[in-house]
C-alpha cells in the first residue's frame, strides 16, 4: 500500500481499494451529527456534495453512512491494530451500540475516553454545560498494541494536586507526606516527578485558542497534544496511521512528526492542500517524502516533472508495472496489465521516428510475446505521451493494416484528468512610507494583494514571508481566503512567496522580492 499519501476523494471508495490488514492505527473525527446544519467549513464543492449525501435523512441515515466506512476500516486494520473514533453526545450512544460493538465486538472495547476541555459557557441554560467529547477506543483483537502513558508533573503542579506542604530532609531533599498530616509516608519529589502518574480515561487537554500557534483557521481543529497521546499509546515508529477525515490535517502533521507512516483522505480539495502546506511548514531536509493524489493534475507540473519519476508514476496510474531503473531500459519503461511493454515519452507531438524504433525495442524485450500478440491481433505495446504528431498517428495505422502490428497510443489525459493551473498576480503597496526626516530608518508597512483566477474557482491563498528557495515553501499564513496580507518589513532584501489553490486542488506560486532602502523596489517571478 502506498504510504505517506494525501488522497482527495470519497473515503469509502478509497478505503475499498486498500489492502486488508495493512494499517496499524485509525483515528477518525467524522462530522458530528450535531453539526448537520453548519458543518460545511471549507465550502468547496467536494465538501458540499458530501454534506448533501450525509444529511439526506436523520440519525438512522447518518449511522448507516458512517457504519459502511467503519466496516472498511475494520477490514484494513491489522490484528494488532486499534481504532479511535471521535464523537460528541448527540450520537455517541448510537455509534457505540450500532457501529463499533457490532463491527469490532463488545469484547474489543477498550476505553470510552473523555476529552475534558475548558471554554466559555452560557450562564442561562436548562442543563449542565456540555464541555467534553467522547473518543471510543476499540481494538481489532485482544492482541492489540498498547503503550501505557504517564502524565509528568512540574513540582508546583504535583504539590498543588496533593495539597501538601514541601518538607526538606537532613540531606536537603524535598518531599511531601503521602497521607494525612505528618503521619504518612515520605514521597520524595524527584522520584515522584520522575515516575509520573498513569494517564486515565479522562484527558484534560485545552481546546485551541485564537492566539494559539497551532491555529490555522480551521474551526473544529483539534490540538496536537490530543493526537500525540492517541498515536503514542497505540503505535510504534514506522507504523501506518490512517485518518479518513483529514479536515485541518492535525493527525497527519503529528504522525509525520512522530516518525509514523501515514495515509490521509478527504473529500475537500482545501483540506488536502491545507494539510500539504502544514506538512511543508514543519518538514525538514530529512523528512520522509509524500505524495498527493488529486482529481485533476496540472499540465505544467506533469510535463516538466523529473522524467524518471513521471515514467514510474504514469505507468502505475495506467495500471501497469514500471521498470524502476534509470537508464539501460532499451526503450522499455514498464509493462501493462496484459504484459505488453510500455514506453513513456514526457513530451508533446511525438514524431514518427519513435514509432519506427518501438517494434524493434519490443522484440528485443520479449520476442515470443511480440510474435504472440501480433498473431492474436492484440497490442504488442503501448506508448504514453501528452500528444502525438500526425506522422506518428499515420504510421500506427500503416503498421496495423500492412504488418498486423498493433501499437496503442495513449495520451496522458486519457489516464489522468488534466487541468490548467490557476493564474496568479501579486500587487504590492506601501501603506506607511518612512518619514522624510527619518531617511531610510524604520520599518515599512507593506500590503500584499494576491489575485488568482481559475475556471474551477479560487479556494484560498498561503503566504511565506521569509521564503528561501533552498528550504522550500514554509507558510507563515496557511489559510487566507481574501488574498490580502500586511507585514512590517525592515531595511534590506525580502523574499515573499504566495501560493493560490483552486477548487480542483491545483496551485500556482508567485515569489516577490522586495528591496527596501529609501524606496521599495519590487521584482517578481513564478
Per-residue pLDDT reduced to its tens digit, 119-148: 677 777 788 888 899 999 999 999 999 999
Q: Which of 259, 293, 327 is the last residue of a domain?
A: 293
Residue 124 and residue 18 share a domain? yes
Give which of 256, 23, 244 is closest to 145, Cα–Cα. Answer: 23
Q: What's the domain count of the chain?
A: 4
This prediction has a pTM of 0.75
pLDDT of residue 231: 98
Q: Which domain holds residue 156?
A: 150-198
Specify the CATH number for the domain of residue 495. 2.60.40.10
Residue 364 and residue 496 share a domain? no
Q: Is the pLDDT of residue 440 over 50?
A: no
Q: Tell me how far the alpha carbon of residue 326 is from its chain's centroid.
A: 29
In terms of pLDDT, which residue wins out, 126 or 320?
A: 320
Could you tell me the three cell numbers for 466? 521569509
Residue 191 and residue 91 share a domain? no
Residue 240 and residue 346 share a domain? no
pLDDT of residue 51: 53
Helices (H), 283-366: 299-303, 307-317, 352-365
Q: Which of 263, 278, 293 is the last residue of a domain?
A: 293
Residue 120 and residue 253 share a domain? yes
Residue 272 and residue 132 share a domain? yes
pLDDT digits (tens, 9 = 90+) for 336-359: 999 999 999 999 999 999 999 999
Residue 162 and residue 136 share a domain? no
Q: Is the pLDDT of residue 495 over 90?
A: yes
Residue 261 and residue 244 share a domain? yes
pLDDT digits (tens, 9 = 90+) for 239-285: 999 999 999 999 999 999 999 999 999 988 889 999 999 999 887 65
Find all residues with CB under 8 Å of 107, minimum gap 6, and list them: 142
DSSP string over 89-118: TTTHHHHIIIIIHHHH-GGGEEEEEEEE--
Residue 441 and residue 409 share a domain? no
Q: Is the pLDDT of residue 163 over 80?
A: no
Q: Which of 167, 198, 229 is the last residue of a domain?
A: 198
Residue 406 and residue 432 share a domain? no
Specify the CATH number for the domain of residue 215. 3.40.50.150
Amino acid at each position: 500500500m502506498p504510504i505517506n499519501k494525501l488522497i482527495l476523494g470519497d473515503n469509502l471508495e478509497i478505503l475499498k481499494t486498500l489492502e486488508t490488514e495493512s494499517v496499524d492505527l485509525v483515528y477518525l473525527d467524522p462530522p458530528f451529527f450535531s453539526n448537520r446544519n453548519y458543518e460545511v467549513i471549507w465550502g468547496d464543492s467536494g465538501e458540499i456534495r458530501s454534506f448533501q449525501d450525509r444529511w439526506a435523512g436523520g440519525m438512522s441515515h447518518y449511522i448507516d453512512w458512517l457504519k459502511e466506512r467503519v466496516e472498511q476500516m475494520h477490514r484494513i486494520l491489522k490484528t494488532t491494530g486499534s481504532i479511535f473514533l471521535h464523537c460528541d453526545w448527540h450520537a455517541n450512544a448510537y455509534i457505540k451500540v450500532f457501529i463499533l460493538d457490532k463491527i469490532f465486538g463488545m469484547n474489543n472495547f477498550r476505553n470510552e475516553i473523555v476529552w475534558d476541555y475548558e471554554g466559555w459557557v452560557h450562564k442561562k441554560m436548562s442543563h449542565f454545560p456540555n464541555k467534553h467529547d467522547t473518543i471510543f477506543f476499540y481494538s481489532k483483537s485482544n492482541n492489540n498494541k498498547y503503550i501505557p502513558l504517564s502524565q509528568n508533573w512540574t513540582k508546583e503542579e504535583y504539590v498543588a494536586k496533593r495539597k501538601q506542604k514541601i518538607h526538606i530532609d537532613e540531606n536537603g531533599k524535598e518531599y511531601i507526606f503521602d497521607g494525612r498530616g505528618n503521619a504518612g509516608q515520605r514521597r520524595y519529589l524527584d522520584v515522584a516527578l520522575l515516575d509520573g502518574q498513569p494517564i486515565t480515561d479522562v484527558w484534560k487537554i485545552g481546546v485551541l485558542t485564537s492566539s494559539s500557534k497551532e491555529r490555522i483557521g480551521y474551526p473544529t481543529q483539534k490540538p496536537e497534544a490530543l493526537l500525540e497521546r492517541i498515536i503514542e499509546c497505540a503505535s510504534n515508529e514506522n507504523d501506518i496511521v490512517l485518518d479518513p477525515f483529514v479536515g485541518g490535517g492535525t493527525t497527519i502533521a503529528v504522525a509525520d512528526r512522530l516518525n509514523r507512516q501515514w495515509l490521509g483522505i478527504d473529500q475537500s480539495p482545501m483540506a488536502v492542500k491545507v494539510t500539504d502546506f502544514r506538512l511543508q511548514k514543519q518538514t525538514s531536509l530529512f523528512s520522509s517524502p509524500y505524495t498527493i493524489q488529486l482529481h485533476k493534475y496540472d499540465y505544467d507540473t506533469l510535463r516538466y516533472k523529473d522524467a524518471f519519476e513521471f515514467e514510474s508514476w504514469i505507468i502505475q496510474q495506467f495500471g501497469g508495472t514500471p521498470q524502476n531503473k534509470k537508464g539501460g531500459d532499451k526503450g522499455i519503461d514498464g509493462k501493462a496489465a496484459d504484459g505488453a511493454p510500455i514506453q513513456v515519452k514526457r513530451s508533446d507531438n511525438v514524431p514518427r521516428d519513435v514509432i519506427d524504433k518501438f517494434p524493434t525495442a519490443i522484440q528485443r524485450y520479449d520476442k515470443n510475446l511480440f510474435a504472440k500478440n501480433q498473431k492474436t491481433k492484440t497490442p504488442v505495446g503501448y506508448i504514453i505521451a501528452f500528444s502525438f504528431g500526425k506522422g506518428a498517428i499515420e504510421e500506427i495505422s500503416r503498421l496495423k493494416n500492412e504488418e498486423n502490428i498493433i501499437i496503442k497510443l495513449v495520451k496522458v489525459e486519457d489516464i489522468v484528468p488534466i487541468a490548467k493551473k490557476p493564474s496568479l498576480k501579486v500587487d504590492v503597496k506601501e501603506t506607511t512610507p518612512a518619514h522624510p526626516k527619518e531617511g531610510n530608518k524604520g520599518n515599512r508597512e507593506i500590503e500584499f494583494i494576491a489575485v488568482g483566477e481559475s475556471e474551477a474557482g479560487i479556494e484560498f491563498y498561503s503566504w511565506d514571508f521569509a521564503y528561501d528557495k533552498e528550504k522550500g515553501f514554509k507558510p507563515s499564513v496557511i489559510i487566507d481566503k481574501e488574498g490580502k496580507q500586511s507585514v512590517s518589513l525592515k531595511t534590506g532584501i525580502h523574499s515573499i512567496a504566495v501560493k493560490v489553490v483552486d477548487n480542483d486542488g491545483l496551485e500556482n506560486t508567485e515569489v516577490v522580492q522586495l528591496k527596501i532602502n529609501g524606496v521599495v523596489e519590487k521584482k517578481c517571478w513564478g
